[in-house]
Structure 1
Amino acid sequence: MENKNTSFFETNFVAENQQIHLPILEEKKIELYIKREDIIHPYVSGNKFRKLKYNLIEAKKSNIRVLLTFGGAFSNHILATAVAGNLMGFKTIGIIRGDELAYNLEKTLANNSTLNQAHKNGMNFEFVSRTVYQNKTDVSFINQLKGKFGDFYVIPEGGTNTLAIKGCEEILTEEDSKFDYICCAVGTGGTISGLINSSKSNQEIIGFPALKGDFLKDEIHQFTEKLDNWSLQKAYHFGGYAKYNEELIRFINNFKKETNVLLDPIYTGKMIFGIMDLIKKNKFFKGSKILAIHTGGIQGIEGFNQKLEIKNQQIINTL
């Protein structure tokens, strides 16, 4: 297999912990740091880098030349897989939810920066109906895809599997053992599982789900044996996946202005909003040291802002 950049995933990236200085933190005597996983790479950043790392290494070892994965039209995972695959010499196929997007592909790419960038990185798209998309984990559906595309390495929607957990376990370093709380946004449960596995017994891991539902605990239990040092804060999903309100957008913009840290509206914006709200409500003990994991997702803001502009709503300031 031709590999354009075999070293991309072979270096263990260590992210900087940036301390946040805000009046409320000084008032409550709490230290808040953000682990800047978002600056690993413009498109393969945060937990996407971590989740893809060992999957692409395994695919390379297996001498499989094609990666196939699943996602929505604005999926950070789809774009990260396309870019990482391109960097390492893989062909990539994206099974995209929404067959209506295929009717005028040129228009779709012009109006969707995520798919456009993935296309520029060589990803081939297979647009399927939402009904068909629900079969994404079925063996028969995977076999149908193999009949059409030949052999490929499957990466699940969102990237979470045992190899992804292994990558996410590398987020925390020995230096991070000083923190009392480790916080992260939760989508599929992969990132928080890795954090739980690599955490110290005296640390509490707090997940902030970005979507509704009680299924996440079961998902997390699949990947970790620790039961007593983690919890989920379910009050900050703002109505569900990709849901938002003006308060969240205003918070993201104010946080960027005050700290120069840009948050995304799907995951990290909701997490930091939740952390700050819990601090105001005295849910963390005085003198606490909190580490929040920035899982990236910044590239998706452009598409999100397009939706906000159409609705004539305040956009997220990225400057």
Structure 2
Amino acid sequence: MLSLSFPPPKVEAIPFYSNTGRQVFVLRADAIDPVISGNKWFKLRYYLAEAIQQHKTRIVTYGGAFSNHIIATAAACKAAGLACTGIIRGEQPLVLSHTLLQAQAMGMQLYFISRQDYAAKPVPGWVNPTTDYCIAEGGYGKTGAAGAATMVAGIEGFTHILCAVGTGTTMAGLITASPGTKVTGISSLKNNTALATEVAALTGTPAANVDILHEFHFGGYAKHKPELLFFMNKLFEQTGIPTDFVYTGKLFYGFHELLRQNYFVPGSKILLIHSGGLQGNLSLPKGTLMY
């Protein structure tokens, strides 16, 4: 039995947007834990429970040098008493990222493979099916989506839900958990049009009905521009909500632009999913952000 658990994330109104004719709220999944943050815990929870139920002793998973999933997995495995290994995209650098250093400090073993080899997500020969439990990059899969769905358990009455999209697992869970609500994803990846198909594969929803917007990526995954960083500081100044430049900063920026473009009809009740990942900001020069 998995004893690791967190309280349900709180839903908070954002008064800054109260004069727009729309009600705007944020699900503060970022606040449940400083490391096992946001949607990462919810995507992991059923995988870890299944691993323990099957008497596995090590989690093996995939991610990049700045992956929120990698650091969350390392922290969750430490808390759950499981060993873990991260298969990391790219050759081992001379200096590890903040993310990988922290994951390593929590007990995660790091196994680096070339980007070309990583693309195939190989299962290395040293993986032992008897003792090891493999989780896909970002927790992608129906088990991850089922966990993500619990993030909004009991939350109803919204006309729109917006979330950042990486693998699409969280979005799939939100779609499953919120029938009748329009779920919109803001992609953090540049021109990854396959995302709609990947979300559809987890939900049974036709890909044509999966609403993912691709114009707010600011150059691609983990890329940013001064305009985004300025917006993130301004958002924090006006609302007290911290965001990261990989996912949630782009989510809130995209929402702000959609609101300005009257994408949401007056009277809409909108929920933004703050999926955590603030550790990604550690790669920015000190003083870039005011929080």
- Per the alignment, in what secondary structure is the counterpart of residue 100 of structure 1? coil
* Aligned counterpart, 1:17: 11
Distance 2:120 2:131 in 1: 19
Change in Cα spacing, 1:150 to 1:224, as seen in structure 2 (3 Å) is closer
Distance 2:49 2:146 in 1: 12
Which residues of 2 match residues 16-165 of structure 1 at below 5 A? 16-22=10-16, 25-101=17-93, 104=94, 108-109=95-96, 112-136=97-121, 141-146=122-127, 151-165=131-145
Deviation for aligned residue 1:173: 3.0
Change in Cα spacing, 1:229 to 1:20, as seen in structure 2 (3 Å) is farther
Letter in 2 for 1:315: T
Distance 1:53 1:211 in 2: 25
Distance 1:251 1:231 in 2: 24
Letter in 1 for 2:256: M
Letter in 2 for 1:223: L
Deviations for 1:77-117, whole angstroms, at most 9, x for unmatched residues? 1111111000000011011122232xx4xxx24xx221111
* Aligned counterpart, 1:205: 183
Distance 1:316 1:155 in 2: 33
Residue 196 of structure 2 is aligned to residue 217 of structure 1: yes
Whose radius of gyration is greater, 1 or 2?
Answer: 1
TM-score, length-normalised on structure 2? 0.94
Letter in 2 for 1:156: A
Q: State, as a whole percentage, how many aligned pairs show the same letter.
A: 36
Task: Note the aligned Cα RMSD (angstroms).
Answer: 1.9
Deviation for aligned residue 1:230: 4.6
Deviation for aligned residue 1:157: 0.9
Unaligned runs of 5+ in 2: none
* Aligned counterpart, 1:271: 251
For the 8 Å contact 1:204–1:229, the answer to whether it is kept is no
Deviations for 1:216-273, whole angstroms, at most 9, x for unmatched residues? 1110111112448751122111121112111100000010111111011111111111
- Per the alignment, in what secondary structure is the counterpart of residue 42 of structure 1? coil
Residue 233 of structure 2 is aligned to residue 253 of structure 1: yes
